[in-house]
Structure 1
């Protein structure tokens, strides 16, 4: 959401964020600056009107993470594409003072590569330094927070030089809402039936040309009923779809009405007016998946369709709510102090132990403090994050009329012994045949061709639901009669319980259309436990493919240990196959990345 400044004098904070971490640091910084009498514009890089760079922006602060193999987050790519235009003059942005904060992980080869690219290009376009840029390392002992604290300290020192008359505001003061939500008392109550509430999601199509209306054709469990993990094969019908293997689909989930009702009851001043129409002061926030028409925008519908109450609360959330906690009683004072501690960098470990470690949700947090916590309606948009779209790798060959995904339903028990269900997968699990949903196609621009050799072999490593884009690529290659070697390394727990799309792979292997190398971690008779074990076992084949046949490697799946272990395995294979030393083998894999021959899609 774009926050219009009151006294910003061109201070703009832009973020590029894939998982929400960079966004939270940006919003936290925006809140901190307000207490120095600066009200900055805060939004994603792609949401910022680019013309304002040349007209309204004087102080530019960029907070950006790096994803995958040195790539920018989805909400930063349009911005980067614009500033990379060769026709832009070198003095275009010579009126801007710039600083940046990168979020990275030094265990990846292109550590903080994305934020560095943006910063370097902006300097080429004439920006001057506002304060020293920072590349934070998640793997360091001080963590991201340690880097951020020092960077923010230097930034505020610089801003004091540029704004010598800055007035610091007492942190106890509650500042005005940025996008105040108010009741429309001129209209009567708008109580809708369950069917009408469900249909409201469809009205959001009117606000975004990229959104597409789809209909559920199949929603089938493809793991054995006795298996702990429920994985769904979902087929969605639509029209005029345009996608390629490797592309993703964005879905726009809603909160379940029961959870929303629980939230509203926790704040009695909300529940009494939950079905009255609302007015929004200022610019309506950029609600993902479009927004419900103003005639039907009520507090209840806002929470069902747009505001996230299921995610883990972040620091900026606590920064806003602690002031709404009544500290006039002993219990209230203790809870107010606790919430305030969660909003500070000094208590990062306390925040982690309270929120992240047990995966406590925003709803659970509000319920825990409800006796003393009273959040005014006008601050709804300031306090609650927006529901973000969920991205899934497409699991079907290109079709204008349908798209498939493979989704693992998130359901587990936390250390608090509470059942936790993922917002999107809980919503997906309940979808029935012919239910309507909203979606959009997200291009990844993955290419599986090489200059001089259009169809090199592809080594695919896709354990679990990471097999989805492999299915799309294999089906597309077969149907288009592309002559190439397709080598599929995939891993599951049990061959009989969770070997996803096993009938398809076994049939294609029998027809000599793919080379299949499965592994099963919990089957005692399995030849190998994990995909990296099976890869190394086939070191002669893999070595020949990547060293002599210029094969492309495509890795997809969870961003935990698997991608790193697979990359280490490729270096070990090269060492054994070509007798390379450790540095030579690592450099060969790095060169494959630079050449577009080693691709990762992890989440």
Structure 2
């Protein structure tokens, strides 16, 4: 076996994530390897230079979740596209030792498909096993954490065979920061920053060539004032837009000034240079939407536009945070020990009860422990997660000059009776007509045709704000020469309060462009309450469309019970209409998924 002790920088950790869970576990294993003095490289799958995979990577660790119907997360697709190139030789990666960790939920049909796809292809290209791959199941009694700890133990044991001379550092030691941050004396001349410069620099840093400035044309509440949920119909005007039904828009929210000021005040040693220009040395983490040229960055602008101080703190956050506690007093020791507990897997329930259950934010955590916390400015990039873009399905027919969104404002009370507002919701709610904002579009490559049936009927199932991509598709088809039957099963609570775009549906129905089947779960006189009930009520129509007319099914809305119940309903419809056994009906729906006839867009 080759001795790698002379090259301690060859362990590469790549992650694919939608909501940050896979990234958190990637940060945990990276932190663990740092204490073994391996100095790993950590990046999202799409951010890692593919050339380095071939020339510089000896040990590869991939941590990836599965999204949608067995798909890879958005920040992983470019990596997978490269792996799937047919001309790649079968021994391209035969120098790499591989271990994988997948995050999945066994209640979904495509359980851990993403990590399976990655591992299978990497092995085909020559990768050898470093330690056994693991497919973690969120539904299992031990949860993801239980799978992770076992996988990590096996991985560390395998690595130690290649690095026999490793000595683990004491846990009290804190590795040096990834970036050196230096505050200058002069004030930044922000007036000289042009929009074109911001776009250019943002594209350079983030790699997103679709970034654009837009003007907010409309930010209109479309649910009634006495309805519990504030839903906005947002219209953004811009130039040279290219999108089709099914594509998405990403928005880049910022923290509000009051929250940022509270955080700065909680760290008194930050105040003297909060508005001074910073020099940031070292490789920056990926910042979606890009970073304005470094000479214009201040601590306040970083906290406002780039660090997600409203996120729920994760375990990797506490792994670093407890080191900044002041243990010189009894209170300080007690608080530091509490923060340290949150970083341990043995205290998973403590972390859940403190952070996840009450939806406590990073800002609230730092304010609670501020008396005994002193965070060095050099560690801000190590400690704070960057703000992730928020993705929304486009709700308008293709237009080169505007794009529409349907956005639910997230506001609720927690179990500790505190009001919670989502970062993007709070930011979006504060915007006014005429305000400028940065955004980008993403192609989702959704197809609403079949090789043998160019324009098949489409059955659309959409509770709540899931109506957005349906509106885009319906407007596109109804206003074109395409001859395609559209069947909309839309569910909301009240006809008079949150039945979005009712006038549009009524008009299209009267013109014969749409078959509309709404239902209202809270209206007393509504006989059919939910979309799955409405589907089953029309089982003859649905069965005929699927079995005899090759209809497509498109389901969009919040994840949880709805997508599963809708899928079970389709299976029951096929059993009843087609007189199929349950196993055959299930297989038929699963085959529809594999063939692209059954699509889900859930979050």
1:288-307 correspondence runs (5 A): 288-307=288-307
Deviations 1:383-430 (A, max 9, x none): 000000000000000111110000000111111111111111111111
Matched position secondary structure for 2:370: coil
Residues 239 and 402 of structure 1 are in contact (CA less than 8 Å); yes or no, is this contact kept in structure 2?
Answer: yes
Task: Give a deviation string over 1:68-88, Cα, whole Å, max 9, x none.
Answer: 110000000000000100000
Change (3 A) 1:324 1:214: same
Q: Equivalents in 2 of 1:234, 1:456: separation in Å?
A: 31
Equivalent residue, structure 1, for 2:324? 324
Is 1:7–1:39's contact at 8 Å kept on the other side of the alignment? no
Which whole-Å deviations, capped at 9, do the CAs of 1:296-355 have from their partners, x for residues lacking one? 100000111101101100110000100101112111111111111111111111111110
Match of 2:404 in 1: 404
Match of 2:179 in 1: 179
- Aligned 8 A contact 2:280 2:294 in 1: no
Question: What runs of 5+ residues in structure 2 fail to find an aligned partner?
Answer: 1-5, 204-208
Match of 1:520 in 2: 520
3-state SS, counterpart of residue 19 of structure 1: coil
- Find the counterpart in structure 2 of residue 227 from structure 1: 227
User: Mean alpha-carbon deviation: is it higher for 263-272 or for 199-208?
Assistant: 199-208
Matches within 5 A, 1:150-189: 150-184=150-184, 187-189=185-187
Offset of residue 478 of structure 1 = 1.2
For residues 217 and 281 of structure 2, the distance between their equivalents in structure 1, rounded to whole angstroms, comes to: 41
Change (3 A) 1:580 1:32: same
Deviation at 1:205, TM superposition (A): 4.7
Counterparts of 2:306 and 2:200, CA distance in 1: 14
**Contact 1:325–1:332 (CA under 8 A) maintained in structure 2:** yes
| Paired residues of 1:9 and 1:58 also in contact (CA < 8 A) | no
Alignment partner, residue 276 of structure 1: 276
Q: Does 1:207 align with 2:205?
A: no
Map of 2:120 onto structure 1: 120
Q: Please tell me whether the aligned partners of residues 223 and 231 of structure 1 are also in contact (alpha carbons under 8 angstroms).
A: yes
Give the C-alpha shift of residue 284 in structure 1.
2.7
Supply the distance in 2 between the matched residues of 1:197 and 1:252 (Cα, whole angstroms): 22
Tell me what 1:3 maps to. Answer: none
Distance across 2 between alignment mates of 1:348 and 1:479: 53
Moved more, 378-387 or 429-438: 429-438
User: Is residue 561 of structure 2 the alignment partner of residue 599 of structure 1?
Assistant: no
Work out the CA distance in 1 between the residues paired with 2:372 and 2:451: 65
Conserved in 1, the CA contact under 8 Å of 2:215 and 2:437?
Answer: yes
**Mapped contact 2:494–2:522 kept (Cα < 8 A):** yes
Residue aligned with 1:272, SS: helix
Superposed, 1:120-519 pairs within 5 Å as 120-184=120-184, 187-190=185-188, 203-208=198-203, 209-519=209-519
| In 1, Cα distance between equivalents of 2:592 and 2:87 | 31
Contact 1:181–1:381 (CA<8 Å) still a contact in 2? no
For the residue of structure 1 that corresponds to 2:497, the secondary structure is coil
CA distance in 2, matches of 1:113, 1:590: 14
Query: CA offsets per residue over residues 498-550 of structure 1, 9 Å max, x none?
Result: 00111101111111110111111100111311111111111111111111111
- The residue aligned with 2:100 is 100
Question: In structure 2, the residue corresponding to 1:392 is in which secondary structure?
Answer: strand
Instruction: Judge conservation of contact 1:104–1:112 (CA < 8 Å) in 2.
Output: yes
CA RMSD in angstroms comes to 1.6
Partner of 1:590: 590
Distance 1:528 1:152 in 2: 50
How big is each residue's C-alpha offset from its partner over 1:440-496, in whole Å with a ceiling of 9 and x where there is no partner? 111110100001111000000011000000000001101222111100001111000
Distance 1:79 1:457, change over 3 A: same
Give 5+ residue unaligned stretches, structure 1.
1-5
SS across alignment from 2:518: strand
2:505 alignment partner, SS class? helix
C-alpha separation in 2, matches of 1:52 and 1:8: 16
TM-score for the superposition, normalised by structure 1:
0.96
**Aligned residues of 1:16 and 1:23 also touching (Cα < 8 A):** yes
SS at match of 2:517: strand
Runs of 4+ in 1 over 6 A off after TM superposition: 196-202
C-alpha change, 1:199 and 1:518, in structure 2 (3 Å) is farther
Q: 1:578 to 1:118 in 2, by over 3 A?
A: same
Q: Secondary structure at the match of 2:101?
A: strand
Question: What is the SS of the residue equivalent to 1:46?
Answer: helix
Given that residues 63 and 102 in structure 2 are in contact (C-alpha distance below 8 angstroms), is that contact kept between their aligned partners in structure 1?
yes
Whether contact under 8 Å (1:215, 1:237) holds in the other structure is yes
Change (3 A) 1:303 1:127: same
User: In the TM superposition, what is the alpha-carbon distance from 1:213 to its structure 2 partner?
Assistant: 1.1
Residues in 1 aligned to 2:174 and 2:9: alpha-carbon distance in whole angstroms: 22
Rounded to whole Å, the distance in 1 between the matches of 2:193 and 2:526 is 46
CA distance in 1 between counterparts of 2:287 and 2:261 reads 21
Matched length = 593
Q: Give the C-alpha shift of residue 8 in structure 1.
A: 3.6
1-structure distance, mates of 2:82, 2:401: 32
> What's the offset of the Cα at 1:230?
0.7
Range with greater deviation from structure 2 (430-439 or 592-601): 430-439
- Contact 1:102–1:112 (8 Å) recurs in 2: yes
Shift of 1:200: 8.3
